A and B are shown apart, each in its own frame.
Chain A
Amino acid sequence: MRIGFQDELDELCEGIQTEGRLAATAVAEATHALVDWQVEAFESTLVAEVEVRRLYHETETRVETLLARQAPVAGDLRTVLAVLHINRSVERAAHNAARVAHLATPPPRRMLVEEAVITDALRAMGDRGAEMVRTAMDTFARRDANAALLLSTLDELVDRENEKIADTILAIDINDPELRQWAGRMLFAARWLERVGDHAVNVAERTTYMVTGEPNTAANQDAN
């Protein structure tokens, strides 16, 4: 039994869990900042994102060291490779959360029905995105091979909200410059929140690969 190696592997998995929890927090706080214009939530998002970025580099270094010194194979190798990919997805999710937080701005006063539709949809996307990141990390911890299926179902709900936002914005009288600016920012925010869902699906797909050894060729490879 390679006790030292097992300890390193456990630390790697614990590290990525911490990173995942922080990314989920960043997404939730970013959504709060976006739709409720909370400065504290904006600051919390950025603090979490900076910490995720630090952990991202730490995890990458750990993976590099572990590969160099322990030469893992079989299930251990798949775990290390899964962590390497999940690390990237989690970091991207947190980075997208920071992008969302930076887009927070109150809507123009003349927005009525549309504002409610858009902010409700953004809140739903953000809450769902944060929940998806948490769920994905839980499935990784439990080594749940069926995780990808569950996360894909949740992702469809996020995609639907994203489409609703786009449809609503396209129907707005876009000649008003103030309105146009706000709508554009919300459209981008929706895009980044939609990507959070995709990253959570990636985490689940890598978990499935880790458990089964079957590569998931449908994995979402978008760099954002």
Chain B
Amino acid sequence: MVEIEAQPDAAPTQMATRGVPLNVAGVATRTAPTDLSVEQPELVFDCREIGVRYNGVRALRDVNLQIRRNAVTALIGPSGCGKSTFLRCLNRMNDLIPGAEVDGVCLYHDEDLYGPNIDAIEVRKRIGMVFQKPNPFPKSIYDNIAFGPRVVGLKDHLDDRIEEALRRAALWDEVKDRLKEGALSLSGGQQQRLCIARALAVEPDVILMDEPCSALDPISTAAIEDLMTSLKTDYTVVIVTHNMQQAARVADTTAFFSTDQGETGTRCGVLIEVAATEKIFTKPENERTEAYVTGRFG
């Protein structure tokens, strides 16, 4: 079991390219795949026996899940099943929650995300996150996107970087003539795409989305879903959603979480089944998955 602590003395590295080591020392621990005949996309996360406790109470246990490159992976399940908790394990956001402990091994490009030399700040730069409610800063559209690159020292060609991020987030055409206007003047859907652009501006490898459409109308939701599909060409996307039709529409792989009785008798999140999305929604292996996706449970 590894108790999570922020590592204030670990200086952020300047590495912005995907696939390079996360350890501060910069030691190349990742090996390139040698078997080119393997059809499966490269493994980005290899989670083994991941569990989380909050103040000693187990919230999640024994999650074994592999997440592959250039795919959208959806985490679904009833409230309290630990899917958001698991998502936060993927970029060490649980570090910021007092009393949170993570056990198990979370390999990111074969590197232990919770290893002693890993810089949590670098992790969160490489593995960006978009939240349920759009949370733009009360600044201009331009400054919202520029914020991340400025903080991590990516100050060269900032205008180009901002345009690229906005284009990738399918927002450029809507805001290119008003970049100096306040971000809060944008609609909810535009604000969420702005937050995605903000995450993209620091050149992440993975984008985590925690119910990114739950506060949006159907049109904005469709725009974000289209965006997820286009983003997976360059990024790996992991999304938590309560909207099963959304998972069915956008995800390549779907993981269903539910709850079981924990060690102390309390309910605890577990991963029930993970499979190709079309299998989960047409012929799931597990009866609990079937009961959940058909709306008979949860």
* A, B from the same assembly: yes
Query: Which residue numbers of A lie inside 8 Å of B, CB to CB?
Result: 1-2, 5, 71-78, 213
Q: In the bound complex, how far is the Cα of B292 from the Cα of A2, in angstroms?
A: 11
B295 within 8 A of A: yes
**Distance between Cα atoms of A2 and B244 in the complex (Å):** 15
Name the A residues within 8 Å of B244 (CB-CB): 73
CA distance A35 to B294 in the complex (A): 49
Most buried by B among A5, A75, A77: A75
The answer to the question of B157 belonging to the interface, with a C-beta cut-off of 8 Å to chain A, is no
- Bound Cα distance from A76 to B296, whole angstroms: 11
Judge whether A2 and B293 touch: CB under 8 Å. Answer: no
Bound CA–CA A73/B295 (angstroms): 9
A74 & B245 in contact (Cβ 8 Å cutoff)? no
Docked pose: A213 CA to B289 CA in angstroms: 15
Contacting B282 at CB < 8 Å: which of A1, A2, A5, A78?
A78
B161 to chain A, nearest CB (A): 40
A72–B248 Cα distance when bound, in Å, is 12
Knowing A73-B282, A77-B281, say if A5 contacts B290 (CB, 8 Å).
no
Cβ-closest chain A residue relative to B287: A75
Q: For A72, what are the chain B residues with a Cβ–Cβ distance below 8 Å? A: 294
Are B295 and A5 interface neighbours, CB within 8 A? yes
Instruction: Indicate the member of B244, B245, B281 with the most A CB atoms within 10 Å.
Output: B281
**Bound CA span A71–B296, Å:** 14
Interface of B is mostly: helix
Q: List the A residue with the shortest CB-CB distance to B280.
A: A74
**What are 29 inter-chain pairs, A to B, with CB distance below 8 A?**
A1-B295, A1-B296, A1-B297, A2-B294, A2-B295, A2-B296, A5-B295, A73-B248, A73-B281, A73-B282, A73-B293, A73-B294, A74-B280, A74-B281, A74-B282, A74-B283, A74-B284, A74-B289, A74-B290, A74-B293, A74-B294, A75-B290, A75-B294, A77-B281, A77-B282, A78-B282, A78-B283, A213-B282, A213-B283
B245–A71 touching, CB < 8 Å: yes
Q: Which 3 A-B residue pairs are closest in the complex by CB-CB distance?
A: A213-B283, A2-B295, A73-B281
Q: B residues within 8 A CB of A78?
A: 282-283
Chain B residues with Cβ under 8 A from A75's Cβ?
290, 294
A72's nearest neighbour on chain B, judged by CB, is: B294
Complex interface: chain B residues within 8 A of A74 (CB):
280-284, 289-290, 293-294
Give the CA-CA distance A213 to B290 in the complex, in Å. Answer: 12
User: How many A-B pairs with Cβ below 8 Å?
Assistant: 33
Residues of B near A73 (CB, < 8 A) are 244, 248, 281-282, 293-294
In the complex formed, the residue of A with least CB distance to B297 is A1
Which one of B248, B283, B294 has the greatest number of beta carbons of chain A within 10 Å?
Answer: B294
Q: How far is the CA of A213 from the CA of B281 in the complex (A)?
A: 11
Return the CB mask of B268-280 against A: 1 if under 8 Å, else 0.
Answer: 0000000000001
B256 nearest CB across to chain A (Å): 11
Give Cα distance in the complex from A78 to B290, angstroms. Answer: 12
CA distance A1 to B297 in the complex (A): 6
Q: Which residue of B lies closest to A81 (CB)?
A: B282
User: Can you add 5 more A-B contacts, CB < 8 Å, to A73-B282, A77-B282?
Assistant: A2-B294, A2-B295, A74-B289, A74-B290, A74-B293
CB neighbours (8 Å) of A76 from chain B are 294
Residues in chain B near residue A71, CB distance under 8 A: 245
Give the Cβ gap from A207 to chain B, nearest Cβ, in Å: 15
Q: How far is the CB of B293 from chain A (nearest CB, A)?
A: 5
Bound Cα distance from A71 to B290, whole angstroms: 14
For A2, A71, A74, the residue with the greatest tally of chain B CB atoms inside 10 Å of its CB is A74
Among A5, A73, A75, A77, residue most surrounded by chain B Cβ atoms (within 10 Å): A73
Q: How far is the CA of A53 from the CA of B293 in the complex (A)?
A: 34
Name the interface residues of B245-291: CB closer than 8 Å to any CB of A.
Answer: 245, 248, 280-284, 289-290
Whole-angstrom CA separation of A77 from B279 in the bound complex: 12
By a CB distance below 8 angstroms, the chain A residues around B282 are 73-74, 77-78, 213
Q: How far is the CA of A150 from the CA of B295 in the complex (A)?
A: 33
CB distance from A143 to the nearest CB of B (A): 14
Residue of A nearest to B290 (CB): A74
- Chain A residues, Cβ within 8 Å of B290: 74-75
Shortest distance in angstroms between A66's beta carbon and chain B's nearest beta carbon? 13
Q: How far is the CA of A1 from the CA of B280 in the complex (A)?
A: 19
Whole-angstrom distance between the alpha carbons of A52 and B227 in the complex?
47
Complex CA–CA separation, A16 to B280 (angstroms) = 27
A217 to B280 CA separation, bound complex (whole angstroms): 21
The interface residues of chain B lying within 8 Å CB-to-CB of A213 are 282-283
Query: In the complex, what residues of A have CB within 8 A of residue B295's CB?
Result: 1-2, 5
In angstroms, Cα B293 to Cα A5, docked, is: 13
Interface residues of B in 203-235 (CB under 8 A from A): none
Alpha-carbon gap, A100 to B248, bound state (A) = 46
* Inter-chain contacts of B284 with A (CB < 8 A): 74
For the complex, what is the distance from the CA of A82 to the CA of B293, rounded to whole Å?
Answer: 19
